Structure formats: structure tokens, C-alpha cells
Structure 1
Amino acid sequence: MTKLVAYYSRADENYFSGKLQTIKVGNTEKVAKMISNLMGADLYKIEQKYPYASDYNTCIVQAKEDKKNNTRPELTNPLNSVEQYDEIYLGYPNYWSTMPMAVYTFLESFDFKDKIIHPFCTHEGSGLSNTENDIKKITHAKVNKGLAIVGSNVDDSLDLIERWINI
């Protein structure tokens, strides 16, 4: 069986250490690619059919509204199956102490029974929050201890990621 790194990430204008900055590649995507390279795992980007706005403040309003309404955004490139994977590394930014709603869409689309999920998130101060428990409730998979990386430190996180993978 093979491993999958499935992740949701957002580029464009983002929040870094108290200020807004535009980036071409999202922080979670950077981490996902590092994990995929280290593990030789397949890589899958969870993408909404209708992405949030590129400016941070509008994105925040849109994402908060989706959370409030418990929305399940349609995905642009859904996987057919996760049957061939025994381990899934699941990445996301922390949005108000949980995952972006598109990650819920992904998780609710498959049976994760007998799978192991390794959650990882990027954040600017809120860590994993309750996301490990959220994943357990949705999937009933074995959820291993997650990894939280401060988004503004992602570029220097390879050693941290390597130690986490070797747990």
C-alpha cells in the first residue's frame, strides 16, 4: 500500500506575524510537498470549485461564513478513492480552531476505516486546536499525533517535519 499527502492550502494574501503578505505558494502546500518528498508519497491538493478571494480580509469573511453555515464546498478535482492508501498525511491551515470546510468535504467523501491519518496544520498561533478530534469524529480512522507549524516558520521546518515523521 502507498501513502497519500492530501492537503488544502491557500496562496495569495496571507497573515504572517501580525501583517499581511502576498505569497505564490501556500504554507501548507510547502509542508505537504516536503512530506511527500520525504515519504515518497502521492500528493493531492484539495481545491474548492469556487476558491476564496485572493485578498485576505475578503477570504476571512467567506471562510467564516462557510464555517457558520457548515458548508461543504464542491471540490474541483475529487479523488475517486482512497482505498489504495493505508496512511494519509492530511494538511490544512487552522481556520478558527478547525479545518477549512473543503477538508470536511474531502473527509466525508470516503471510508477511512482501517486507515491511519497523520494531521498537520499551519497556523499563526492557534496550533492544531481541536482538529485531531474533529478528524476522528468524521473518519473513525486511527488519528496519530499531529504536527502544527507556525506559517511564518514553514521555510525552516524541514528538521521538525523529519522528526515528526519518524515518531
Structure 2
Amino acid sequence: MSNILIAYFSRAGENYFGGEIRPVSIGNTKICAELLKESLDADAFEIEMKAPYSDNYRECVAQAREDLQKNHLPELKTMPESIADYDVVILGYPNYCSTIPMPVATFLDAYDFSGKKILPFCTNEGSGMGVSEADIKKYAPGADVEEGLSVNGSKARESKKLLEDWVKKLLG
């Protein structure tokens, strides 16, 4: 087992790409997580909802916004038994409503991240990290949340060097 966990939430279906909505079979965040996994000695865990958001982009946005407004932590399909052996969690997610998707909050809320380093990366089409880093700190008190990386989702497949350089900068 590695001491690094790549935990990520991603969504296929309709996604927003530079002004248009189009379907994708693999979400942008998953693409980035897989690129990181190729480069690192790390374990990976996909954060998946038991009742996923709609594949329809507009419906998904409405569902995600409602969960955020109600501070609803949706149930996940599975959870790691423990994260105790991990010193570093690389946390990937798309920018939903300028922050982390609530399934990511469910994941963070389930564990004690005290003394762990969290490296957040966020896929988006220009909205950046939003307030996600501050929100991660709320759901993972005691964690050392490092400066996040904003990845342009439509360039996810070309982001391997960007991701590798970011991790190298933060972990040495």
C-alpha cells in the first residue's frame, strides 16, 4: 500500500466545454486522476454516489445546487475501510457551484484527516478553484490543505505534465 491516496469524484454524461454542452464517456476529473495514478506510487478511490446525479447537465446542476443549499451529504456507493495509512490525499473534483461537490463533502466528513496533507485539484472551464479549498478545510479539520490546482476540463487529457509538476512542487 502506498502512503498516497488519489480520491476523486468525476461525472460522465453531459458536460460543459468552453461554451457548449456535450456528452463524454469519462469525466474530466477521472482522466486527471488516471494520469496522476500513472505517474505516482498511489492508491486510487473513485467517490461514487449511491444515487448519481442526472446525466443531463442542467438537471445535474440543479441537483448539485440543491444538495449544496441544503448541506445534504449524499450517500456513497462504497467508502474506503480506513484512510489511516495515508499521509497524503490528492483530492480531485469538478467545480460545482464554486466549490466541492457534496459527494466529496460526504467523503471528507467520514474520516479524521488530522495531520494528513490534502492536495486538491479541480476541473473546470474557467471558474477555477472557487472557495473549494476553504470548504475542504471545513469538512476536514486538522488537515494541511495545500494550494490547489485548477485544471481546464477540456484540456484534461493534455494535463499530465501540469499535474506532475504540481505534485512535485508540493511533495518534493
> TM over 0.5: same fold?
yes
Match of 2:167 in 1: 165
**Equivalent runs, 1:15-164 vs 2, <5 Å:** 15-139=16-140, 140-164=142-166
Question: How far apart in 2 are the matches of 1:156 and 1:81?
Answer: 32
Question: How far apart in 2 are the matches of 1:67 and 1:25?
Answer: 24
Spell out, residue by residue over 1:74-129, the C-alpha distance to the aligned partner (whole angstroms, 9 max, x if none): 00011111001010000000111110000000000000001000000101111011
Unaligned runs of 5+ in 1: none
Question: How far apart in 2 are the matches of 1:55 and 1:99?
Answer: 19
Report how far residue 23 of structure 1 moved.
0.5
Would you say how many aligned residue pairs link Structure 1 and Structure 2? 167
Question: How far apart in 2 are the matches of 1:137 and 1:28?
Answer: 22
Overall identity of the aligned pairs, in %: 46
Question: How far apart in 1 are the matches of 2:139 and 2:62?
Answer: 25
- Give secondary structure in 1 for the equivalent of 2:98: coil
Question: How far apart in 2 are the matches of 1:17 and 1:107?
Answer: 30
Further displaced range: 57-66 or 81-90: 57-66
Question: How far apart in 1 are the matches of 2:58 and 2:153?
Answer: 17
- Give secondary structure in 1 for the equivalent of 2:7: strand
Report how far residue 135 of structure 1 moved.
1.2
Please list every run of at least 4 consecutive aligned residues from structure 1 whose deviation after the TM superposition is greater than 6 angstroms.
none
Question: How far apart in 1 are the matches of 2:63 and 2:46?
Answer: 20
Spell out, residue by residue over 1:15-49, the C-alpha distance to the aligned partner (whole angstroms, 9 max, x if none): 00000111110000010111122112101000110
- Give secondary structure in 2 for the equivalent of 1:54: coil
Report how far residue 132 of structure 1 moved.
1.1
- Give secondary structure in 2 for the equivalent of 1:166: helix
Unaligned runs of 5+ in 2: none
Please, what TM-score do these two structures have when normalized by structure 1? Answer: 0.97
Report how far residue 137 of structure 1 moved.
2.2
